[in-house]
A and B are shown apart, each in its own frame.
Chain A
Amino acid sequence: MRVSLFIPCFIDQLTPQVGLATAKVLKKLGQEIEFNSSQTCCGQPSYNSGQWEIAKEGAIRSLEVFKDAEVVVGPSGSCVAMMKKFYPELLHGTKYEAEAKRLSQRTFEFSDFIVSQLKITDVGATLNKKVTYHDGCHALRELRLKEEPRKLLRAVKGLELIETEEAESCCGFGGLFAVKFPMISTAMVQVKAGALARTGADYIVSSDPSCLLQIGGWLSREGKVIRPLHIAELLAMGIDDV
């Protein structure tokens, strides 16, 4: 398939390696990759702040950016949920509604795309590491993706997946919530990342890089050794090791 990459704004600027890993894995799986560099941000920060009229402009812009895409794949459950689930609601009753629905149907989160669209679970990676998984809330509860990333992880040779009771707990990021209510957000990541760190895993893996900013940012500040890693990075690393 011709895959149009949806690289969320903060991945673009802060963790470009996640975008590169996404492209690399999809290419390895035989996909044709394109990146429309006129994309910027999906508008979720404004949407979550109640500024829906402003967010609509960002949404309408994304419809234009991706109008010719065959499929759109993004390495972020949260930003994909914005396009897939919230654009049609945001633009409901406007002339853009049909286009928003068309984009929604063609847009997929990275692990979902590989497992449910390409029907692949083993990407041919090997990695002798212990990992624990963090379910990003948007991937889990808006997109209902729970098994998709785990199927990919379980198929990595040599990899040990350690589950925790806190896997589904929110990390406390929540977009601007993290800086509007920093004391609550920090308490939440303390509970979450603390539990993940106690697994003794090498990496905390997630399909959501915004959660990883929060979890990784706290772990780094607290001097913990466990590292955050996006699932695309992990798979790309495992492909290299083959």
Chain B
Amino acid sequence: MSDSKSIFIKEATLTSADGEQRQFIRTALGGYYKNRDIYQARYRDWELARDAASLAKWSAVNNLAEVLEKFVAKFEANGGKVHWARDAAEARKIILDLVAKANATAVIKSKCMTTEEIHLNDALEKAGFGVVESDLGEFIQQLRGEAPYHFVFPCMHLKREAISELFTKHLGTAPTDSPEELTMIARRHLRKLYITADVGITGANFLVADTGQISITENEGNARLTAAMPRVHIALSGIEKVINTIDDLTVLLPMLATAGAGQPMTCYNTLYAGPKKPGELDGPEEFHLVLLDNARTQILADPEQRDSLHCIRCGACLNVCPIFKNIGGHAYGTTYQGPIGSVITPHLRGLKDWNHLSGASSLCGACTDACPVRIDLHHHLLQNRRNAAKVVPNLFDRVFHGSFNFVIQRPALFSLGGKVFRKTFGLLKHLPLPYLGTWLKSRDLPAIPQKSFREVWKDSKNV
């Protein structure tokens, strides 16, 4: 068993047995479901909006090279500088070099999962640069020294008391039960850092090709400060974030908010176009954009799963996923949790070590129905299972399914096998058999019938 799989099994076993924590997550998501339903109902036709959002992403992703070139030309014409990174190591190096060149002593960051994907904070810290997360949830997770639990709601697993204790420990503040006061503590602490930071690092929700702008969506205003106050702004984005036109945002921005957070619109939606121009009062002196591939072109080359590049990282699939709700975000051990994470992580980090995530699904399809850009998520999990069976031969599975097929190809043998199973079930249920023994650990089987359907049918020839 791979390390990643054994860690997954261990963590999932722990969390799925923690009834209190599971209930806490379900309660936390309860408010989201209510608001999501309210704001989805305000669309004249949510399904049609999904078609439009999906088409907006499809038309860019399926013409990626051309749309990217168009975006880059516009972005650089606006005064920004683009850097291309093939993988995480290249992206880290580019960013570290830029930070060093800026003679930075302090770096401030707004929420960006792509920086988690390339493990940027570790690299910055190892190189001696202090970096502070300015998104409240990410700030809390950074203080805890823990990865985000959910890629949109990084600390949704924490109760208020835990956050209060954390602040008392690290910031020396008085304990409080008030969410407003907790927010103000973080705000007071972070405000001064925007002013002292030399470099601000952000992500990008969309790269708008026809205007050369990057679009950032946030609720706290911290990304605006991160992008505007420091001398140097560095944005990191996957290449799949590009869209054709600014008009596409009219559908993508509200859907991102509604599907992701149950909001009609996110509080701040900002378009950034280049550094401070002569005569302008504020803005960064330099504006760099690092465009990351990191296996995205590999997904692009897979016609079956190309649509997973439509992902706008809204997190709707996590919010409805019964697996996520019962094992929590940390069990995955991935940057991107939940169904989309289970689909793309094998591409990002290798099918051999990450295929178990595709197996750990009942294939219920709630994710696919929730996805605002119509990614065929649960069928991609099936395809990952098929692909894994080819590249990582599983002897047990081959023998089990080979034998099963041998039996089902022969009705008489199937009938006999069923009969033997039923007649000996009283004995079998006490044996540590694979699958059957596992089932019986937490569940019963119905009373085993004397005769199978086919036997009764043959006997009576009528009903």
Contact = CB atoms under 8 A, between A and B. Distances in A.
A14 B365 contact: no
Given A141-B369, A170-B364, A178-B439, A213 B445 contact: yes
Contacts of A1: none
B100 interface: no
A52 B369 CA distance: 25
Contact of A49 (B369, B385, B421, B454): B385
Given A49-B389, A181-B12, A38 B411 contact: yes
B452 A16 contact: yes
A101 to B, nearest CB: 18
A217 B411 contact: no
B441 interface: yes
Given A58-B405, A176-B435, A179-B439, 16 more contacts: A9-B418, A20-B453, A20-B463, A37-B454, A40-B411, A41-B404, A47-B382, A48-B385, A52-B389, A55-B401, A141-B365, A180-B359, A180-B360, A184-B16, A187-B326, A220-B446
A187 B22 contact: yes
B311 interface: no
B365 A137 contact: yes
Contacts of A220: 443-444, 446
A43 B408 contact: yes
A221 B463 contact: no
A27 interface: yes
B16 A48 contact: no
A142 interface: yes
B77 interface: no
Nearest to A141: B365
Contacts, number: 194
Contacts of B407: 40
A71 B398 CA distance: 34
In this complex, which of B12, B368, B404, B407 has the most chain A Cβ atoms within 10 angstroms of its Cβ? B404
A48 B438 contact: no
A218 B456 CA distance: 28
Interface of B: 12-13, 16-17, 19, 22, 26, 322-323, 325-327, 359-366, 368-369, 382, 384-389, 397-398, 401-402, 404-405, 407-411, 414, 418, 421-422, 434-436, 438-439, 441-446, 448-449, 451-458, 463
A88 interface: no
30 contacts: A13-B422, A13-B452, A20-B463, A37-B458, A40-B407, A41-B408, A43-B405, A48-B363, A54-B402, A55-B401, A57-B405, A58-B408, A61-B409, A137-B365, A168-B366, A170-B364, A172-B362, A173-B362, A174-B363, A178-B439, A179-B436, A180-B359, A182-B438, A187-B22, A188-B326, A217-B443, A217-B444, A218-B443, A221-B443, A221-B444
Given A13-B421, A174-B361, A50 B388 contact: yes
A186 B408 CA distance: 28
A184 B442 contact: no
Contacts of A176: 435
Q: How big is chain A's contact interface, by range?
A: 35 or more
Interface of A: 7, 9, 11-17, 19-20, 23-24, 27, 33, 35, 37-41, 43, 45-52, 54-55, 57-58, 61, 137, 140-142, 168-170, 172-174, 176-191, 213-214, 216-218, 220-221
Nearest to B460: A20
Given A14-B449, A57-B409, A218-B442, A46 B456 contact: no
B453 A19 contact: yes
Given A20-B456, A51-B397, A173-B362, A216 B446 contact: yes
A75 to B, nearest CB: 10
Contact of B359 (A17, A19, A170, A177): A177
Contacts of B414: 9, 40-41
A19 B458 CA distance: 13
Given A61-B409, A141-B365, A50 B443 contact: no
Nearest to B444: A220
A84 to B, nearest CB: 15
A185 B456 CA distance: 33
B445 A186 contact: no
Contacts of B323: 184, 188
B287 to A, nearest CB: 44
A137 B362 contact: yes
Given A61-B408, A213-B446, A183 B17 contact: yes
A40 B463 contact: no
Contacts of A37: 411, 454, 457-458
Contacts of B448: 14
A40 B385 CA distance: 24
B408 A9 contact: yes
Contacts of A174: 361-364
Contacts of B408: 9, 40-41, 43, 58, 61
A189 B22 CA distance: 13
B36 to A, nearest CB: 14
Contacts of A191: 22, 26, 322, 325-326
A137 B323 CA distance: 14
A170 B366 contact: yes
A139 to B, nearest CB: 11
Contacts of A47: 382
Contact of A50 (B365, B385, B404): B385
B17 to A, nearest CB: 7
B259 to A, nearest CB: 17
A214 to B, nearest CB: 7
B363 A177 contact: yes
Contacts of B434: 179
A50 B446 contact: no
B289 to A, nearest CB: 39
Nearest to B17: A183
A108 B361 CA distance: 26
